[in-house]
Structure 1
């Protein structure tokens, strides 16, 4: 019995070992199952968070910017619009004394630029370092266009230059230099400058005052006003306020300029707070007259953004220009105002790859591949003026005739169901309604909102600003509108409808393939206009 007990005991011990090991393995599996389940749950949660975050980013970047499908979802803001007329910033400034005994106009302008640089520095505004030395080819062309055989201004253009500024000290010195240098070709007796500024938190008002003192020393007529008060935006129609500001730069100066300049105004040039050179001002003026257009606009550009910059995770830096910066890709800045003659935006509104595409190749890419629509992109890429419905894009030269007929900047008339769009596009709409329907985009004029981009290689190549083609139409019978510098207006169709892109502050979706479209004309102006303008809407082609 002891043996059998010992044997049985021994057998039981040996048999129990695998059982114990199996129990341990089974227990280990039991312990691992919750762990693996937790891993799966964690992965699902991470994927869910990634998906939600991605959808949120897409919403923030694109969906909330889609246009409204009806105006009921876009209630009118009726708050009181308060606009301060401002004061003369030149008051109480010491006068500038420039030796005017020298009859050399260019020498006087050199002295004025030098003196202004010192005065701007005294109010903590750095003088401009933007290089504005055109190629010899461009310089010769400018001299031929604007100077006579003696090298003096021909005086063909009586120009009012108007600006609306707000906290613009970074670009102010570049703008003032461009204006002063343009006087070499336009003539000091042929230019009037008007500026309205408000609510700046930097030294822009002081800089404007110093610029006014310089213009006074050169006997150049001007009208400057600055207002310290901040804009009250709450409950107020934003476009009504912006229209009021633009009218303060336009209306008082317009009447004064018409009296001050010999023969009255021939050009009204509006400039945004951009980096530009004097040749940009001259080019929009020249092109408007060359094409017998009612308005000519440049193009304005910004640098493309990285993913982090696009979603506001990091802020974009503006480093000094380097070979790497020169190769930076570009995006057209103002796509809100401009419309092609087919009524479309110049580039797609809903494009998740906007920041990664070639900025020049996407312009007019939405047009039909048939004449005349296919000519828009061809002309743009060939750097010749392109007929459009509307534009602004940093700098625009306008005919003064519509303003003499009472046209002003305005907000949309909601009582007649008008699209609440930009005051600049509504200005184009009113121009068209009075028969001033020849608007052009000038690719050679390329301005920027940061100095380092102005001489970027992409902009130089895209605009071809350093090279000029001759006017082939005057030398050849070839009528190829894809490259011919002169626009044959009779070959271009008027738009039947225009895409509405309202000033948005309340969300409502209208997908891009279901755009809200509206008439390209202001019915009130059409109703009040003379019968001689009846062909404004009935004639299919521009003429």
Structure 2
């Protein structure tokens, strides 16, 4: 009798286990993947009304940024970090190391809906890396939506975490004349605290400069990880937009391949019909892109970049506008930044195509669904294949595109020649 009961019990137990597994799997697919991290806490003191937002609204955003509690605010669902050891090498080995190893910099304007995801991911990355080894610098400007109210209210919580936090509002408006020059000013303002942190920041400090993108903490950490693993001077993500039904690479005005050409071809009439045909004339780059392996470029930014602080600290490089009066091609400040890096000998610049970003919560979800989450992509790869055979000689000529209708080739170091 006992043997018969045992025989009956086995299929019942197996069935229960299978049903439970299916239920848990289903639950994981439909539930948002909220952030998890040690030290989650509410803001340490009551929040007051801001210039635009009432205290209750500010508190709602702070809770979404600083805690792992479910929020009614829309956000990109991101995987938790606590299941990976890939990024442990980025943590400081010395618990009392006074050096700032990671300097986060942002320029934000009217980005309130993005703050729970973008700043929340930065906070999660900082907690992972070690707050004492991190600094955060944000320059905000011209935000009628309350972005500044939330960013200012972050200070007590970040200081309690042990993070060096610098926040400033600016009246500089890039929509006015000299757009590139004004954007360069704002970027330099975000980097200015590096000089105040002398003695704490070193040539080994990594600057992580993020645009107003919908990014997961794993995107940020992968960017830094690849910079370290590749021995790169600078790494960039891939950023996308939806010009139509399908994702389109966004930062085509800035990005130049290692051959000096744009990432895709744009004819004089400015149409993006060839946007699907990335790296059409650079076979090795195209191959590495489709295999989702890092590839060397002349210039990039693509929504997020990690680069060495050394040339900034030495005063060799800052963001700038083109010297058009001397004949330099009019181009974006990130492209000029890369050009100056090359000129100063920092020539290992790479794009990491496993990191895919967009500029809104809703479309950020679509990009992750289309391109994949970073952790899913890298989990299927052998990191040995990531290594780049660095080319230390720049292309002789680089495509200049002051406008779509006016494109020509110019010496890579025009106006920088000794």
Closer, same or farther: CA 230–433 of 1 in aligned 2, 3 Å: closer
Aligned-CA RMSD value: 3.4
User: For residue 288 of structure 2, what is the aligned residue in structure 1?
Assistant: 379
Alignment of 1:418-437 (within 5 A): 418-437=328-347
Q: Secondary structure at the match of 2:39?
A: helix
User: For residue 133 of structure 1, what is the aligned residue in structure 2?
Assistant: 79
User: For residue 181 of structure 2, what is the aligned residue in structure 1?
Assistant: 240
- TM-score (structure 2 length as normaliser): 0.77
> Matches of 2:236 and 2:197 in 1, distance apart?
22
For the 8 Å contact 2:109–2:143, the answer to whether it is kept is: yes
Closer, same or farther: CA 160–464 of 1 in aligned 2, 3 Å: closer
For the 8 Å contact 1:124–1:203, the answer to whether it is kept is: no
Alignment of 1:190-209 (within 5 A): 190-209=133-152
Deviations, residues 280-336 of structure 1 (Å, cap 9, x unaligned)? 11111111111111110001111233xxxxxxxxxxxxxxxxxxxxxx521111111
Closer, same or farther: CA 135–214 of 1 in aligned 2, 3 Å: closer
User: For residue 108 of structure 1, what is the aligned residue in structure 2?
Assistant: 39
For the 8 Å contact 1:155–1:186, the answer to whether it is kept is: no
Structure 2 unpaired stretches of 5+ = 1-35, 48-53, 65-72
| 2:126 is aligned with 1:183 | yes
For the 8 Å contact 2:58–2:150, the answer to whether it is kept is: no
For the 8 Å contact 1:296–1:397, the answer to whether it is kept is: yes
User: For residue 448 of structure 1, what is the aligned residue in structure 2?
Assistant: 358
Q: Which has the higher strand share?
A: 2
Pairing partner for 2:86 from 137, 142, 151: 142
For the 8 Å contact 2:44–2:156, the answer to whether it is kept is: no
Closer, same or farther: CA 497–509 of 1 in aligned 2, 3 Å: same
Structure 1 unpaired stretches of 5+ = 1-104, 306-327, 368-372, 474-483, 528-543
| 2:190 is aligned with 1:259 | no
For the 8 Å contact 2:396–2:412, the answer to whether it is kept is: yes
User: For residue 334 of structure 1, what is the aligned residue in structure 2?
Assistant: 251
For the 8 Å contact 2:172–2:186, the answer to whether it is kept is: no
In the TM superposition, residue 143 of structure 1 has moved relative to its aligned partner by 4.8
User: For residue 538 of structure 1, what is the aligned residue in structure 2?
Assistant: none
> Matches of 1:148 and 1:220 in 2, distance apart?
15
> Matches of 1:107 and 1:195 in 2, distance apart?
24
For the 8 Å contact 2:234–2:308, the answer to whether it is kept is: yes
User: For residue 229 of structure 2, what is the aligned residue in structure 1?
Assistant: 290
| 2:412 is aligned with 1:520 | yes
Alignment of 1:464-475 (within 5 A): 465-468=375-378, 469-471=380-382, 473=384
In the TM superposition, residue 130 of structure 1 has moved relative to its aligned partner by 2.1
Runs (4+) of structure 1 moved beyond 6 Å? Answer: 113-116, 152-157
Pairing partner for 1:417 from 327, 346, 357: 327
Q: Which has the higher helix share?
A: 1
Larger RCO: 1 or 2 (CA < 8 Å, sep 6+): 1
In the TM superposition, residue 488 of structure 1 has moved relative to its aligned partner by 1.4
In the TM superposition, residue 402 of structure 1 has moved relative to its aligned partner by 1.4
Pairing partner for 1:166 from 76, 93, 109: 109
Asked which structure has the greater CA Rg, the reply is 1
Closer, same or farther: CA 208–148 of 1 in aligned 2, 3 Å: closer
In the TM superposition, residue 184 of structure 1 has moved relative to its aligned partner by 2.9
> Matches of 2:96 and 2:356 in 1, distance apart?
25
Closer, same or farther: CA 385–154 of 1 in aligned 2, 3 Å: farther
User: For residue 45 of structure 1, what is the aligned residue in structure 2?
Assistant: none
Closer, same or farther: CA 114–383 of 1 in aligned 2, 3 Å: farther
Q: Secondary structure at the match of 1:170?
A: helix
Q: Secondary structure at the match of 1:388?
A: strand
Closer, same or farther: CA 144–441 of 1 in aligned 2, 3 Å: same
> Matches of 1:246 and 1:427 in 2, distance apart?
11
User: For residue 9 of structure 2, what is the aligned residue in structure 1?
Assistant: none
User: For residue 274 of structure 1, what is the aligned residue in structure 2?
Assistant: 213
> Matches of 1:276 and 1:153 in 2, distance apart?
29
In the TM superposition, residue 110 of structure 1 has moved relative to its aligned partner by 4.8
For the 8 Å contact 1:192–1:257, the answer to whether it is kept is: no
For the 8 Å contact 1:496–1:519, the answer to whether it is kept is: yes
Greater CA drift, 119-128 or 154-163: 119-128
For the 8 Å contact 1:125–1:203, the answer to whether it is kept is: no
> Matches of 2:373 and 2:78 in 1, distance apart?
15
